[in-house]
Structure 1
Amino acid sequence: MTTRRRGVRVLVVHALLWSYAAVAFGPLLLVAIGSFRTNADILRQPVGLPESLTLDNYLRAWETASISTYFANSLLVTVGAVALCVAVSATAAYALSRWRFRGRALLAAFFLSGLMIPAKLGLLPVFYMYLSMGLIDTRPGLMLLYAASGVPFSIFVIMGFMRGLPTGLEEAARLDGANEGRLFVSIALPLMRPALAVVTVFQFAPTWNDFFYPLVLLRSDAKYTVPVGLTRFFGEFATDRATLFAGLVIALVPLALVFALATKQIIAGLTAGMSR
């Protein structure tokens, strides 16, 4: 009887999960299918399969609608911001979790206090600071802002992961004469790979999808990122739904690739604390 009840519970849980997946991914699937259909076919029958597969919609969105420019800007800003954030956070988290020095707890609290302050509340001082430094309407300025905004969360995740790792390998390497730089590169970085994957994905997605900062800090259409560029795209191609769907799919491709490639590392990083 107990086994039967467990089986029923498993079936109910699976049914609920598949129902949620259908609701969550159903619209995305319709958009992906619609990107291969003609606009006349979509207007005549909104839901349906393409009569023949064609990439004309993607070529039109990529070239005519300037999605290529927005995509390149977003890729440059997002990859640069995430790389800078992960590099700074990994080194800081390693020092705070492994080194013993006066003021270490205060410094860690200072970094983690950034989690309690919404970054958008400081936009006005950042705007005037950027204005005086000539960073308004520049992609490096946007990159630095995203990187700094993600440092507190990234340090929090990597520190928690590092504190759960044994120090035996590092102590053995010290006995062999390895300096701190060699310890960090050869021992710490490979061990913290799951945490770095978690931080990368959790910083990549909001940075790629952010609409607020590019709207405020950028002025040139040639420097717009995908979220801001899509607003102009929606206005110009409101009646051309096939091209609109193709542009949305192009904007979603990097996120899908990042999640697909980092899934195993994300699960390892999120469950590392529970497995100990």
Structure 2
Amino acid sequence: MAISRARRNRMAELGAHIILLAFAVIALFPVLLILINSLKTKKAIFRQPLEFPTSETLDLVGYTTVLQQGNFPLYFWNSLFVTGASLFFILLFGAMAAFALSEYKFRGNRLLGLYMALGIMIPIRLGTVGILRLMVTTDLVNTHWALILVYTAQGLPLAIFILSEFMSTVSSDLKSAGRIDGLSEYSIFFRLVLPLVRPAMATVAVFSMIPVWNDLWFPLILAPAEHTKTLTLGAQVFVGQFTNNWNAILAAMALAIIPVLVLYTIFSRQLIRGLTSGAVK
């Protein structure tokens, strides 16, 4: 029975690998297309978009423009800092709320969990006017904290929804043993529960990072100053009313893809485990 269950688990994980590989090939084609065309002349981009750069079409003018025009190292750091801080608070507060909902049974538990999950269905952009007024009142406009707070609120509903399901599967005997040994609730949460839900944490991190890293709406409204511009907003300098600098746009997009690919590479194994957990019994 144990062997059969282990075999089914391996088959499920192998199937997930195959499915993710197929999706990766499909998803990476546009990425490869961007990387290829960012290394070519503007004429070659439109005449041979699917061909690799040759000695005649190779041109790094897009990257030199990106590095010389504007302050793209600062934009890159802003995006990295805002995304990293947002993910930290999303995972921390989301895991705490999920632990409370799954561990402590009280009147209105399900209703509170449903209320927290409503953010998945209601886009936060609907409250843009109210958020802007709040940031102006608290003097947080053109600061990193304005974006961090908004993105944390945006990512918490999904984090709570996913993590609460995983934390409900953690053995209650393990937590009871920790309490008998004198561990506090915080020690049980950080030392016993969190290590067991790392695949779910990695899954939440990956799915929460993409909308934050690629967002243009809130940086344009809440932090458009030069010292707080994100990479996505900074790339808009190459988009004109009548003409676009396609070499620079493609180069900026190629540079913006790097952190996302690194994150997927680091957390790929944990992501697969998080997606396949509970697939077989």
**So what's the TM-score if we normalise by structure 1?**
0.83
Answer yes or no: is 1:77 the counterpart of 2:86.
no
How far apart are residue 20 of structure 1 and its match? 7.1
Q: Is the 8 A contact 1:62 1:247 kept in 2?
A: no
Aligned to 1:67: 72
Q: Which residue type is aligned with residue 36 of structure 2?
A: I
Give the C-alpha shift of residue 186 in structure 1. 0.8
1:89 and 1:36 mapped to 2: Cα distance?
Answer: 41
Alpha-carbon shift at residue 268 of structure 1 (Å)? 1.0
1:173: how far off? Answer: 1.7
2:29 matches 1:30:
no
1:69 alignment partner, SS class: helix
User: Is the CA contact 1:164–1:273 (under 8 Å) kept in the aligned structure 2?
Assistant: no
Q: Give 1:165 shift.
A: 2.5
Q: Give the CA deviation at 1:81.
A: 1.0
What does residue 116 of structure 1 align with?
121
Structure 1 counterpart of 2:52, one-letter code: L
Contact 1:197 1:269 survives alignment (8 Å): yes
Q: What residue number does 1:107 align with?
A: 112
* Alignment counterpart, residue 146 of structure 1, candidates 120, 144, 151: 151
1:10-21 matches, within 5 Å, as: none
Q: 1:178-189 counterparts in 2 under 5 A?
A: 178-189=183-194
**Contact in 1 for aligned 2:163/2:201 (Cα 8 Å):** yes
> What amino acid is the match of 1:189?
L
Which whole-Å CA distance do the structure 2 matches of 1:57 and 1:146 have between them?
30
Q: Which residue of 1 aligns with 2:5?
A: none
1:231 aligns with 2:236: yes
Instruction: Name 2:179's counterpart in structure 1.
Output: 174
- Count the aligned residue pairs: 261
Partner SS state of residue 240, structure 2: helix
CA contact (8 A) 1:94 1:162 kept: yes
Cα distance change, pair 21–152 in 1 and its aligned pair in 2 (3 A): closer
The CA deviation string for residues 193-246 of structure 1, in whole angstroms up to 9 with x for no partner, is: 11111111111001111111112222313322122222212339x665443322
Q: Secondary structure at the match of 1:235?
A: coil
Alignment of 1:189-228 (within 5 A): 189-228=194-233
Q: CA deviation at 1:266?
A: 1.3
For structure 1, list consecutive stretches of 5 or more residues without a partner in the other structure.
Answer: 1-15
**1:89 aligns with one of 87, 94, 98:** 94
Task: Judge conservation of contact 2:151–2:212 (CA < 8 Å) in 1.
Answer: yes
Which of 144-153 and 114-123 deviates more?
114-123
Q: Structure 1: which amino acid aligns with 2:249?
A: L
Aligned to 1:133: 138
2:3 matched residue in structure 1? none
1:274 is matched with which residue: 268, 275, 279? Answer: 279
Equivalent residues of 1:193, 1:265 under 8 A apart: yes
User: Unpaired runs of 5+ in structure 2?
Assistant: 1-18
Rounded Cα–Cα distance in structure 2 between residues aligned with 1:153 and 1:38:
42
Aligned to 1:8: none
Q: What are the superposed Cα offsets for residues 162-200 of structure 1, whole Å, 9 maximum, x if unpaired?
A: 112222221222222211111111101101111111111
Correspondence for 1:98 among 78, 86, 103: 103
- Alpha carbons 2:120, 2:158 under 8 Å: kept: yes
Q: Secondary structure at the match of 1:170?
A: helix
Correspondence for 2:249: 244
Match of 1:13 in 2: none
Q: Identity rate of aligned residues, in percent?
A: 35
Equivalent AA in structure 1 for residue 187 of structure 2: R
The two structures, once aligned, show a CA RMSD in angstroms of 2.9
Task: Summarize deviations over 1:124-164 as a string: whole Å, max 9, x none.
Answer: 21111111111122211111011011111110000011112
Conserved? CA contact 1:65–1:233, under 8 Å:
no
Of the structure 1 ranges 143-152 and 222-231, higher mean CA displacement relative to structure 2 is found in: 222-231
